[in-house]
Amino acid sequence: MTDAPSTPADSATPQQPALRVLAQYVKDLSFENPGAPDTLRPGQPAPGIDLSIDVQARTMGEDTYEVILTINAKAARDDENIVFIAELTYGGLFQLAGVSEKDREPFLLIECPRLLFPYARRVLADATRDGNFPPLMVDPVDFANLYRQQMAKRAAAATGSETNGNGDPAAAN
Domain boundaries, the chain: 23-143
Residue range 138-164: mean pLDDT, rounded: 84
How far apart (Å, rounded) are the C-alpha atoms in residues 32 and 74? 10
> Helices (H) and strands (E) in the chain — how many of each?
4, 4
pTM over 0.85: no
Residue range 104-118: mean pLDDT, rounded: 95
22 residue type, one letter: L
Would you say residue 172 has pLDDT above 80? no
The fourth-level CATH superfamily of domain 23-143 is SecB-like (3.10.420.10)
Reduced DSSP (H G I as helix, E B as strand, rest coil) percent helix, strand, coil of the chain, to 5? 30, 35, 35
**What pLDDT does 161 receive?**
55
Q: What does the H/E/C string look like for 19-78?
A: EEEEEEEEEEEEEECCCCCHHHCCCCCCCEEEEEEEEEEEECCCCEEEEEEEEEEEEEEE
CB contact at 8 A, 119 and 83: no
**What pLDDT does 164 receive?**
46
Region of 25 (left: φ > 0; alpha: ψ -120 to 50; beta: rest) is beta
Would you say residue 20 has pLDDT above 90? yes
- Torsional sign, CA 25, 69, 67, 121: positive
Structure confidence by residue, pLDDT tens digits, 33-84? 998 888 888 888 888 999 999 999 999 988 999 999 999 999 998 767 899 9
- CA distances 143 to 106, 162, 167, Å, are 10, 22, 29
Task: Indicate the average pLDDT of the chain.
Answer: 85
Would you say residue 12 has pLDDT above 70? no
